[in-house]
């Protein structure tokens, strides 16, 4: 944990929050400050006017036989007007600050989401999704309270304290000295309380993230929980995380929550002491003290001490918000996915035997390769993939792939088989550059993939995974996920190619049927067919099928496989499959073991060799 955050506010983080506030809302902040100053001035003027009201308008009427109240009524109206101005100013500042607060949080959330889209896959593999969600929700909520309430209140407190302090000195120096003595006591108490709470607010935010992450895991894994009768153990784990959160919340608030009552009682004591001291001064004729002055000073002291109590109560919100802001900025400061590629993917057509770049979609693509000498070369996108002695590890000191060499010519189907953890999926993750290799080279149509812009590289690759991700929206929207500009006719043709059209037309609203919760209302096979249709609409020259049929039954697999076979025609295809029957027709089968290719060849060649593949195929050795 950052030492400078232990028990105190990180002003560097707070300053960064203030930069967001002032960046786009300077004019509104100007009006907020003006209204706060006006509200403060109104409060001080009303307190000072009390002396005039009592000494000049009320005391002279005491004992008068036929008192005339006209002047007193005018004075009371003046007092009401002064208070009224303060109320209106405070109302306007609050309204404006809410808009500033929500606008600032919108900007922060927008920036967070933009940053999230730029983060590498590795970040999401190593961070709980629930914890990431907590930064969007819980941490931004704490910021909202600080921006809309704590910051303006702090500014108001500072201006009020400064103005009233000078007003008290002008009114009576002796009584001001009494107030300052109590002020020192209040500050000592406040510092003592807050210094013991700050570090626990940081732990509280971390505990919230951990709890949210666990809840998200349990929601996603409810079937597994029930199948393995894990309910009781899950509850115990939840109780432990919940207890940790409750303990941190208690530790964070047990001192801070005492600040208000303690300081409030000190303020009440001060009120009584001022009355006694003021009375003694008046009786002994010291300092020209009058009844009106004592009443006015008592009000001034209340107005002086009250803001200090208010800021004490806001300190827990500020510390918590800064802790949340630190987590948000940690997320926003994560290293984005690097992309130094310059080769882009463009639409082309042939003219006089040359490739010419065009804007319209031609179903013919080329790599636009800008050379260092200013020359631009167009290389037709064919789908030729080569690996040359590739090494890779998720951690720097632990390789999971060793000297992988392979090639896939355009239109060929290459299959990867092997036990779980052998490195099959890792190879496909390197093709689309979800991760970058440690050593060796990967070439795509003769171009080192490090030179290709990642977006363009991935646009040329279609992926159908075991776990299908569908998004809230219509069936049509999900198929068009990779090509929003596609026509309805193209969507229907893609669905027919994937064998999805028949089941879609039987849905209540056909292609306009709304789905949510990752397509929970659809079967696994139907969801997989939609994933294939999505890929078909993109029409990529290279496809990656990562155990796309492993979680569906044999009958459904036949339908899905027919859809994939149509889609694979004429394309370079990389297939990962547990069911070896689906890879028999591959041009080459790579058998992996502990990150190395130990066998390669056609189905017939590998069967004749009677090696590892033969054992896998005949059941003598299990994939798992």
Kindly state the average pLDDT of the residues 334-360.
89
Q: What is the CA radius of gyration of the chain?
A: 36
Q: pLDDT grade, residue 63 (50/70/90)?
A: low
What pLDDT, on the 0 to 100 scale, is given for residue 299?
77
Model confidence pLDDT, tens digit, residues 546-573: 876 655 566 666 766 676 677 677 788 8
Tens digits of per-residue pLDDT, 309-330?
666 666 667 777 888 888 899 9
pLDDT score at 405: 92
pLDDT class for 186, splitting at 50, 70, 90? Answer: confident
Which DSSP letter does residue 7 get? T
Examine the pLDDT at 5 and tell me if it is beyond 50.
Answer: no
**388 touches 443 (CB < 8 A):** yes
Tell me the average pLDDT of the chain: 81
Task: Please answer whether residues 367 and 344 qualify as being in contact, where contact means their C-beta atoms are separated by less than 8 angstroms.
Answer: yes
User: How far is CA 95 from its chain centroid?
Assistant: 27
Q: Rounded to a whole number, what is the largest CA-CA distance in the chain?
A: 127
CATH homologous superfamily for 3-332? ABC transporter type 1, transmembrane domain (1.20.1560.10)
More confident residue, 262 or 140: 140
Question: Encoding tokens for residue 69?
Answer: 């109240």
Res 7: pLDDT: 44
Tell me what pLDDT residue 517 has.
63
Read off the pLDDT of residues 228-272 as tens digits, 9 standing for 90 and up.
Answer: 677 788 888 888 888 888 888 887 777 667 776 777 777 778 778
Encode pLDDT of 20-62 as tens digits: 888 888 888 888 888 888 888 887 777 777 777 777 777 777 6
pLDDT attached to residue 214:
81
| 3-332 matches 385-618 in fold | no
Beta strand 385-392 with 514-515 is unpaired
Helix (H, G, I), strand (E, B) or coil at 374: coil
- Pairing relationship of beta strands 439-444 and 447-448 according to DSSP bridges: antiparallel
What is the torsion angle, in degrees rounded to the nearest 10, for the CA atoms of residue 129, residue 131, residue 137 and residue 143?
-150
pLDDT at position 189: 76
**What fold, for 385-618?**
Rossmann fold (3.40.50)
Residue showing tokens 């918000």:
321
Helix (H) or strand (E) holding 247: helix 231-283
Confidence of residue 194 (pLDDT cuts 50, 70, 90): low
- Residue 289, C-beta contacts closer than 8 angstroms, at least 6 positions apart: 172, 278, 281, 282
Give yes or no for residue 150 having a pLDDT over 60. yes
Who's near 295: CB < 8 A, 6+ residues apart? 50, 51, 54
Per-residue pLDDT, 88: 92
CA 303 centroid distance within chain:
41
Q: Are 20 and 28 in contact (CB under 8 A)?
A: no
pTM of the predicted protein model: 0.69
For position 290, what pLDDT does the model report? 75
d(CA 578, CA 575): 10
- Most confident of the following: 228-232, 420-424, 454-458: 454-458
Domain residue ranges in the chain: 3-332, 344-380, 385-618
Report the run of H or E that residue 118 belongs to, with start and end. Answer: helix 70-118
Query: CA-to-CA distance for 315 and 157, rounded, in angstroms?
Result: 13
């Amino acid at each position: 944990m950052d030492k400078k955050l232990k028990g105190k506010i990180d002003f560097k983080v707070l300053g960064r929050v203030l930069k967001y506030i002032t960046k786009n809302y300077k004019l509104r902040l100007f009006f907020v400050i003006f209204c706060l100053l006006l509200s403060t001035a109104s409060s001080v003027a009303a307190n000072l006017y009390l002396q005039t009201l009592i000494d000049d308008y009320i005391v002279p009427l005491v004992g008068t036989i036929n008192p005339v109240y006209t002047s007193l009524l005018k004075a009371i109206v003046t007092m009401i007007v002064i208070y009224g101005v303060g109320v209106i100013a405070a109302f306007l500042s609050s309204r404006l600050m809410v808009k500033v607060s929500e606008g600032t949080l919108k900007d922060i959330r927008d920036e967070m989401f933009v940053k999230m889209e730029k983060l590498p896959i590795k970040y999401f593999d190593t961070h709980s999704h629930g914890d990431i969600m907590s930064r969007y929700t819980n941490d931004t909520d704490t910021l909202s309270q600080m921006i809309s309430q704590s910051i303006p209140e702090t500014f108001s407190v500072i201006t009020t304290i400064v103005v009233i302090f000078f007003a008290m000195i002008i009114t009576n120096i002796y009584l001001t000295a009494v107030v300052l003595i109590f002020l020192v006591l209040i500050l000592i108490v406040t510092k003592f309380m807050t210094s013991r709470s700050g570090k626990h607010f940081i732990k509280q935010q971390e505990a919230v993230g951990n709890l949210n992450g666990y809840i998200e895991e349990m929601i996603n894994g409810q079937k597994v929980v029930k199948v393995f009768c894990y309910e009781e153990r899950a509850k115990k784990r939840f109780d432990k995380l919940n207890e940790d959160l409750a303990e941190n919340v208690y530790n964070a608030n047990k001192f801070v929550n005492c600040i208000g009552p303690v300081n409030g009682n000190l303020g009440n004591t001060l009120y009584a002491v001022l009355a006694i001291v003021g009375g003694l001064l008046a009786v002994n004729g010291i300092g020209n003290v009058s009844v009106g002055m004592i009443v006015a000073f008592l009000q001034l002291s209340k107005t002086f001490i009250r803001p200090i109590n208010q800021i004490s109560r806001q300190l827990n919100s500020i510390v918590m918000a800064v802790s949340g802001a630190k987590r948000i900025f940690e997320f926003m400061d994560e290293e984005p996915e690097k992309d130094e590629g310059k080769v882009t993917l463009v639409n082309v057509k042939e003219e006089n035997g040359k490739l010419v770049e065009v804007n319209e979609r031609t179903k013919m693509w080329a790599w636009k390769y800008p050379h260092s000498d200013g020359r631009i070369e167009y290389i037709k996108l064919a789908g030729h993939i080569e690996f040359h002695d590739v090494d890779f590890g998720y951690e720097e000191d632990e390789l999971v792939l060793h000297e992988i060499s392979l090639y896939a010519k355009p239109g060929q189907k290459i299959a990867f088989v092997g036990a779980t953890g052998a490195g099959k999926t890792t190879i496909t993750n390197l093709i689309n550059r979800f991760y970058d290799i440690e050593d060796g080279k990967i070439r795509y149509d003769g171009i080192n993939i490090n030179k290709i812009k990642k977006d363009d590289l991935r646009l040329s690759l279609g992926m159908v995974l075991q776990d299908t991700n569908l998004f809230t929206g219509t069936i049509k929207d999900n198929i068009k996920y990779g090509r929003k500009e596609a026509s309805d006719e193209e969507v229907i043709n893609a669905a027919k190619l994937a064998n999805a059209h028949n089941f879609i037309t039987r849905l209540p609203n056909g292609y306009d049927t709304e789905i949510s919760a990752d397509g929970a209302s659809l079967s696994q096979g139907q969801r997989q067919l939609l994933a294939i249709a999505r890929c078909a609409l993109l029409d990529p020259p290279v496809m990656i099928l990562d155990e796309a049929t492993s979680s569906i039954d044999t009958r459904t697999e036949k339908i899905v496989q027919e859809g994939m076979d149509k889609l694979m025609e004429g394309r370079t295809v990389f297939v990962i499959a547990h069911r070896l029957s689906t890879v028999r027709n591959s041009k080459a089968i790579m058998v992996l073991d502990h990150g190395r290719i130990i066998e390669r060849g056609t189905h017939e060649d590998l069967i004749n060799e009677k090696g590892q593949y033969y054992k896998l195929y005949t059941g003598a050795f299990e994939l798992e």
